[in-house]
Structure 1
Amino acid sequence: MATFNNININSGFLLTRQVQDSASGLQVTLWLKSSSGPVKLQIKHELAVFFVEHHQLEIAQGILTAQDIPLAKSQQLSLKTFAQQKVAALYFNSMRSFYRAREALKAKQIKCYEDDIRPDDRFLMERHITADITYVSDVMTKGLGDYIDGKPSNDSDKASQGYQLITQARCKRATAQSDISLTMLSIDIECSMQGQLYSIGLYACNTNTSASKDEFKRVLMIGEPQATSENYIQWLKDEKQLLQQFIVAVNGFDADILIGWNVINFDFILLQKRCDLYGIEFAIGRDGSSPNWRKNANNPEQNFIEIAGRVVLDGIDLLKSATYSFASFSLDNVAHKLLGLGKKVVDVDNRVEEITDNFNHNKPALAAYNLEDCRLVWLIFEKTQLLAFAQLRAQLTGLAIDRIGGSVAAFTNLYLPKLHRSGYIAPNMGDGDSGLVSPGGYVMDSIPGLYENVLVLDFKSLYPSIIRTFKIDPMGLIEGLEEVRALKSVKDKDGHWHQDNRLRVIKGFDGAYFSRDAHFLPDIIETLWLERDKAKLQKNAALSQAIKIIMNSFYGVLGSSGCRFFDPRLSGSITKRSHEILKKTSRWITAKGHKVIYGDTDSLFVYIGADKSKQQATKIGLELQKFINDKWQYTLQQEFKITSQLEIEFETHFTQFLMPKIRGFNTGKNAGKNTGKGQNDIGTKKRYAGIANGVMIFKGLETVRSDWTELSKDFQQELYRLVFNDEPIDEYIKMIVANLKHGHYDNKLIYQKKIRRKLSDYVNTPPHIKAALIANKKLTAQGKEQQYKHRSTIRYVITLEGVQPLEFNDSKLDYDFYVEKQLKPIADDILPFIGRDFESIAGDQLGLF
């Protein structure tokens, strides 16, 4: 806390934001975590606003008057649309009036601009506030400028709740990122299939003021007290008391962040329903309020929870936002992959039955299981720095810390205030759709083969680099086109647009021209780029990853029709330029005497010959890196008078490398090693394998796919290792086939697949849907609830009687099917390149059983 002219200036980290109607008009409420604890800021007398074109202002006012919709005020502005139309602002002192006015005007074909921006978001955005906020906690205002009427509350009731209330608060962006530590509490519930609660686990291990860790363990359990050595179990007589004690525990611990696994759409939804059943107020907000719930308009099955002064972070959603990928996002699988740990339950596949059995007969075992689930989530958050990632993303973009996805919102937060200060308002969705289609990333045809010495040259953040280099920017496009119109009006003596004038703008694709000076996105990316370089030097993995995701999302935003700045001329000027860059770079490499065998989006795979040592390969890679970077610097300066921000890196040296052919096309036995011969073959895209630094790497192949069996993955990894190391393969293949047919691998022949749609939406029924339908039918026959539906995962096998759900299967597995569909395709991807084939090796095994 700083003091200026007897006024206390405080700072905090933004947890939640909200806007609501009040008797005195709109009120924005911000909950912060400060160095002295939680703070509730109230900003009163705010106005909601949207814009209409100036020439329609009087018509709009007449419509609102006729429908008795109160308008706080209207104001002509110097701002204009991308179509160069001046606008006026319409202000409202309630959200009800704002929504009514918006619908009334749209019904009369009056276009409303920026009518989807909430006043609380606009309040923060226009002040360039992301997550770190400076605010005043004293009524005195002398000499403070922006800070007016910051009144701390002396309400004893509020003080007893453990937070400070400041009314009529004034805020602005903090000058530096806060180092305020947020506290977490991990929550997990255990219940019956019908949703009756058994127990609730809570776990935390936060750093205290002495920089050591304080471990908190508690399991609230329904039942009579039992003799146990575990002192973390709190016994409660019934479900009602369990819920009441949970509310007391949450408020008593007073965490900033509540975490869990599918915690919103399962745990908190169920807790809310059980509270409603018993007439209990689910008062877990810091001000004693209950949560607000809302549904995702595009996905009604997804719920969002807003708790006053607390944030709920779901481990699954955050891992996906941080670009983690797992075959299954079950807690057991993720904990196993990341931590080498698993659940405290014997039979994971039938854990509900075991949980119920433990509740009835072994409550201490259930408590241990419940607590361990909480602890696993905590350890995953620690291992992957998920909280730090969420905080940094909020600080960089202004997104709410619990926001899922939100790349469009992040772009808007960063871009819109700059746009307004340059005299423009944002377009509406659909304004930039010119009927053009921009292509995706460049993927060149590959040359299949088994190679020694393949170098991967990768353009570092290619799309952001193109944006920086060619000044690609929404406002820059509008300004560039305006400049071109002015320039084209001045012709040379032959009536042509003079060539010198062409260089005053930067030419894009599909008729796009970009201003050299009027733009923001290139500068935003440059700032983020420098911050990422700093993060790398500091070995701050969470920050580096957050920045990378944000930068790379900007192309997706500009290419998404769900973004107000969507314009195919923007996205096309990025992707078409990337195609040009990769093709030209490939020609330069070929002219150097090397062979480009594949290219994908921002990478080129270069075969340099089997006769090169590791040292020679590294030398060639670094030479190519310097040559290409220098060449682009010179080329762009000559053609566009711009400085290249493109940077290619020698990333990987594959000592052994396989580029398979597309399955179904014959690769003859003469397709020799190291050469990629067989010119009639068609190579795959986004599928390859190799050895780099002694490590096997698979891309797009069965080893990294979730819809192939465990046996297929084991088989692929070992077979490829043998081939890459020029070791015998016959005995290994024969052994795998024989053991498979003897039933030794039955536990590795299980398919696992997620149900992506509603079961009723499938016209052609794929195997996993057949298995789901069979399982649901059998569950119904047993008087149980159907388990398999949209978003659930089914495990199944292929038997002599066809597809069967694993849990109900009692038929013999179809071993011939697994040999033909799981082993043979994998072997045939690589064996022809060494003059061998699967059937000639395994033929004597195939008919034995």
Structure 2
Amino acid sequence: MAPTSQQGFILTRHWRDTRNGTEIEFWLATDDGPRKVRLTSQTSVAFAEAGLRPAIEAQLSGAPGIELRDLPLKTFDNEPVVGVYSSQYKQLTALERGLREHGIKLYEADIRPPERYLMERFITASVQVDGGAVNGAAITDCKLKPAPDYRPALRMVSLDIETSAFEDLYSIALEGCGQRQVYMLGRAPEGTAADPGFDLEYCATPRQLIEKLNAWFHTHDPDVIVGWSLVQFDLRVLQKNADKHKVPLLLGREGKTVDWRTHQARDGYVFASIAGRVAIDGIEALRSASWTFPSFSLENVSQTMLGEGKDIGDAYDKMAEIERRFREDKPALAHYNLKDCELVTRIFDKARLMDFIVERANVTGLQADQFGGSIAAFSHHYLPRMHREGYVAPSVGDVSGSSSPGGFVMDSKPGLYDSVVVLDYKSLYPSIIRTFLVDPVGLVVGQAERDPEAVVPGMRGAVFSRAKHCLPAITTQLWEGRDAAKRQKNEPLSQALKLLMNSFCGVLGSPDCRFFNPQLVSSVTLRGHEMMKLTRVLVEEEGYDVIYGDTDSIFIWLRKEYANDAALAIGQGLADKINAWWRKTLREQLGLESHLEIEFDTHFQRFFMPTIRGTDMGSKKRYAGLTVNGKGEEEVIYRGLEVARSDWTPLAQQFQRGLFLRIFKAEPYEEYVRDYARKTAAGEFDELLVYRKRLRQRLEDYQVNAPPQARAARLADEFNKSLRRPLRYQNGGWISYVMTTSGPEPLEALRSTIDYEHYLSKQLQPIADSILLPMHDSFANLTTAQGNLF
């Protein structure tokens, strides 16, 4: 029986080799529930130079299942190629390894069957299913094609567990699919208990906890599992307990187990592949959507976004309270466990994270739970278009050389200014790609072109074909899609398209990308340098001063104070003149249509550019400014300063905010500095003295010149060991500590007196001097007259 045409969203993708060829499996979310699509007898393909055909055939020695075919394709060296077709993908990869040992290269052999199938059909995530044989929820050997407008209604569950300090399982909470469920280890309390407001079921053994979880997934069948550190903690610990108690963890559809992989470059980092379900970690999802927080702990993020949390103390106080509730008040532990699930669900809703994840998958072609992957997303879009232009992709490492400089950063002019206007190039690097036709195929064709009128000059000797290219069209399609998403107020789609477009330059500059070429990336970044320098000239010809510029933004001092509306009009007028200049110049000199567009961004009523510490030179990527936001309220914007950095203490951040506010408001600041220093030395700000820093490697790896956070971590774990607690910092992580007269000491093992001189000289003085020195004042000048604090 053949199904009617049906639309769906790809949740997971898998492949396996069988006797009849490679089989590809997609699980889809559809309006009629989950569907499994099986594509059997799929053929894998790679490419080789046609001149090497005899050598390849000699290596094959009549091996069954592999066939060579002539194709109308070329390498980037303009060598004709043959297609190497194999009925089994593992056979193809084995052949690639064997040929490599004989100096014979196969191109594109690393592209797995699901990705090859999707990209060559221009499918990203939403698909239309036509034809095929139906057996229950499975559809076999159907046809898939893009369904770009389809969006699924995904069934989501938030999962959280509570454990002992040694990861013994106490409880499992689930919130989603219309359910609020907690499974608790142990016996129910005696007597009539109050209704907890959710389903609470007690299990006699840890094995039963896992079995109940398996049954819940089978019954309620979610498409998406979300959580906080979901894979690295919750799912990993569930698997650990399942293995310990010899019960399978069956979280996949059709009762499949979790398929675990380790990250080769990140020690201890794991991936969980679950058939038919997507596992989304809230921390990674927020980061991929460009959210930033000083700490990504659930407590901090929920307090910041939702205005509430559930903190019950630091890590050890919390663990002690969890242990107490498990022993004495299991219903309270169940409430605590479920609260985590609820907070995660609300964060996903508030940030529209699932909308973003779905749009990102539809934009990039990556599986929904694959974060990062800029190179893979670029290849997904580029390879099929490149094939249709007659080329196969090079291999990673085919082109060597140093990459290009990054974005252009102008020397700044430090000081305090009235009326600074910021103009910003809209999507600078994508606009350069579109305008100057920067493209891997275009570079190959352009370098072989003999007619100078048929090429566009790039940088470092590059020339690009005017007629044959792929990336400008891809970028234009994404650009126009983003403009449409903005008009429709679809912020998740707009963000996903922006992130993909902006990743292209970085991808071309990465040696891990098969299209890496210094000429390519230089033709983007160095063109940006040229543009910023020309823009500065155009602005200064209008009688204004450029005091700073960074990659795609230029900061313009209007030379006197203007009201907000007047400054906006000047900024818009400058943008219009610059854009007109680009259109005219590129049309007349290069015969190109300009897609370069500079926009008015901000008017700072007061603006401060600090010096580099200890010098009179202006700093870069560090400034503060007073502006009026969209609500008509005054707001101070900080970039790169201590107040915006998590590795400075709250003492320093609060001090910097207060000092800037007084400077920008032209209010007296002298007494504020003196009073803040006095109160710090008197111990009135002790709660603000905590450093919170990250250990970026194993604790044992800090040997020579260990930083303060590593020394504090060693003291903490020595203290934990003495109390027979689990060691917290052996594998890195975040630690909070204060500086004492004995050096850095962690909060959980604080013994010595606080070193107030450290905070005055290392936290307050550098901040004060970076602001005051350009004004011919200093921290020492203000504080030494007040009782010789130092």
TM-score by length of 2: 0.96
Residue 453, structure 1, aligned to residue 453, structure 2: no
Distance 2:424 2:98 in 1: 53
**Equivalent position of 1:271 in the other structure:** 238
Distance 2:469 2:94 in 1: 35
**Equivalent position of 2:683 in the other structure:** 743
The code of the aligned residue for 2:637 comes to I
Residue 643, structure 1, aligned to residue 593, structure 2: yes
| Match 1:113 to one of 107, 110, 113 | 107
Preserved contact between residue 82 and residue 425 of structure 1 (Cα < 8 Å) = yes
Structure 2 residue runs of 5 or longer lacking an equivalent are 629-633
| Match 1:34 to one of 30, 39, 54 | 30
The code of the aligned residue for 1:13 comes to F
- Paired residue secondary structure (2:291): coil
**Equivalent position of 2:187 in the other structure:** 224
- Paired residue secondary structure (1:439): coil
Q: Deviations over 1:554-602 (max 9, x none)?
A: 0111111111011010000001100000001101111111000000000
Q: Deviations over 1:803-842 (max 9, x none)?
A: 1112101211101110111111111111233333212222
Preserved contact between residue 783 and residue 789 of structure 2 (Cα < 8 Å) = no
Q: CA deviation at 1:844?
A: 4.2
- Paired residue secondary structure (1:104): helix
Q: CA deviation at 1:631?
A: 0.8
Residue 475, structure 1, aligned to residue 435, structure 2: no
The code of the aligned residue for 1:11 comes to Q
Residue 100, structure 1, aligned to residue 72, structure 2: no
**Equivalent position of 2:143 in the other structure:** 170
| Match 1:718 to one of 655, 658, 678 | 658
Aligned positions of 1:19-30 closer than 5 A: 19-30=15-26
The code of the aligned residue for 2:746 comes to P
Q: CA deviation at 1:743?
A: 1.6
**Equivalent position of 1:187 in the other structure:** 159
| Match 1:74 to one of 62, 68, 87 | 68
Q: Deviations over 1:315-373 (max 9, x none)?
A: 11111111212111111111112221212524466322221121112212211111111
Identity %: 42
Distance 1:350 1:169 in 2: 56
Q: Deviations over 1:73-115 (max 9, x none)?
A: 2212111100011111222222332232121111111111001
Preserved contact between residue 505 and residue 516 of structure 1 (Cα < 8 Å) = yes
- Paired residue secondary structure (2:254): coil
Aligned positions of 1:137-216 closer than 5 A: 137=131, 150-153=132-135, 159=136, 164-174=137-147, 176-204=148-176, 214=178, 216=179
Preserved contact between residue 403 and residue 518 of structure 2 (Cα < 8 Å) = yes
Larger displacement relative to structure 2 (348-357 or 528-537):
348-357
The code of the aligned residue for 1:281 comes to P
Change (3 A) 1:57 1:308: same
| Match 1:408 to one of 375, 379, 382 | 375
**Equivalent position of 1:588 in the other structure:** 538
**Equivalent position of 1:438 in the other structure:** 404
Change (3 A) 1:199 1:399: same
Distance 1:272 1:7 in 2: 38
Distance 1:39 1:597 in 2: 59
The code of the aligned residue for 1:44 comes to T
Distance 1:764 1:374 in 2: 42
| Match 2:481 to one of 528, 531, 534 | 531
Preserved contact between residue 687 and residue 700 of structure 1 (Cα < 8 Å) = yes
Distance 1:645 1:503 in 2: 20
Aligned length: 780
**Equivalent position of 2:631 in the other structure:** none
Distance 1:74 1:744 in 2: 79
**Equivalent position of 1:209 in the other structure:** none
The code of the aligned residue for 1:593 comes to G
**Equivalent position of 1:806 in the other structure:** 747
Change (3 A) 1:110 1:772: same
**Equivalent position of 1:545 in the other structure:** 495
Q: CA deviation at 1:20?
A: 0.5
Distance 1:458 1:33 in 2: 41
The code of the aligned residue for 1:816 comes to E
| Match 2:674 to one of 734, 737, 755 | 734
Preserved contact between residue 177 and residue 395 of structure 1 (Cα < 8 Å) = no
- Paired residue secondary structure (1:287): helix
Change (3 A) 1:848 1:17: closer
Preserved contact between residue 155 and residue 222 of structure 2 (Cα < 8 Å) = yes
Distance 1:833 1:520 in 2: 50
- Paired residue secondary structure (1:16): strand
Preserved contact between residue 455 and residue 652 of structure 1 (Cα < 8 Å) = yes
Q: CA deviation at 1:170?
A: 2.3
Distance 1:783 1:283 in 2: 34
| Match 1:366 to one of 330, 333, 336 | 333
Preserved contact between residue 48 and residue 98 of structure 1 (Cα < 8 Å) = yes
The code of the aligned residue for 1:128 comes to F
Structure 1 residue runs of 5 or longer lacking an equivalent are 138-149, 154-158, 207-213, 488-501, 666-680
The code of the aligned residue for 2:612 comes to I
Distance 1:843 1:589 in 2: 44
**Equivalent position of 1:497 in the other structure:** none
Preserved contact between residue 436 and residue 569 of structure 1 (Cα < 8 Å) = no
**Equivalent position of 2:756 in the other structure:** 815
Q: Deviations over 1:630-651 (max 9, x none)?
A: 1111111122110110000110
Distance 2:188 2:402 in 1: 70
Q: Give the superposed CA RMSD.
A: 1.7
Distance 1:356 1:222 in 2: 12
Preserved contact between residue 503 and residue 641 of structure 1 (Cα < 8 Å) = no
Change (3 A) 1:846 1:305: farther
Distance 2:678 2:324 in 1: 40
The code of the aligned residue for 2:9 comes to F
Change (3 A) 1:567 1:229: same
Distance 1:847 1:359 in 2: 55
Preserved contact between residue 446 and residue 683 of structure 1 (Cα < 8 Å) = yes
The code of the aligned residue for 1:168 comes to D
Change (3 A) 1:846 1:257: farther
Distance 1:573 1:567 in 2: 10
Preserved contact between residue 3 and residue 134 of structure 2 (Cα < 8 Å) = no
Moved over 4 A (4+): 346-349
Preserved contact between residue 69 and residue 100 of structure 1 (Cα < 8 Å) = no
Q: Deviations over 1:421-451 (max 9, x none)?
A: 1111001112232x35411100010000011
Distance 1:430 1:843 in 2: 60
| Match 2:12 to one of 16, 21, 30 | 16
Distance 1:473 1:718 in 2: 49
Q: CA deviation at 1:283?
A: 1.4
**Equivalent position of 2:738 in the other structure:** 797
Distance 2:538 2:420 in 1: 17
Preserved contact between residue 706 and residue 752 of structure 1 (Cα < 8 Å) = yes
Distance 1:258 1:610 in 2: 56
Preserved contact between residue 347 and residue 354 of structure 1 (Cα < 8 Å) = no
- Paired residue secondary structure (1:503): helix
Preserved contact between residue 9 and residue 136 of structure 1 (Cα < 8 Å) = yes
The code of the aligned residue for 2:123 comes to I
Change (3 A) 1:659 1:349: farther
Distance 1:652 1:791 in 2: 40
Change (3 A) 1:846 1:600: farther
Q: Deviations over 1:242-298 (max 9, x none)?
A: 111011112222110000011001111111111111221211211111111112222
Preserved contact between residue 229 and residue 281 of structure 2 (Cα < 8 Å) = yes
Larger displacement relative to structure 2 (277-286 or 568-577):
277-286
Distance 1:439 1:848 in 2: 46
**Equivalent position of 1:691 in the other structure:** 626
**Equivalent position of 2:225 in the other structure:** 258
Distance 2:70 2:211 in 1: 55
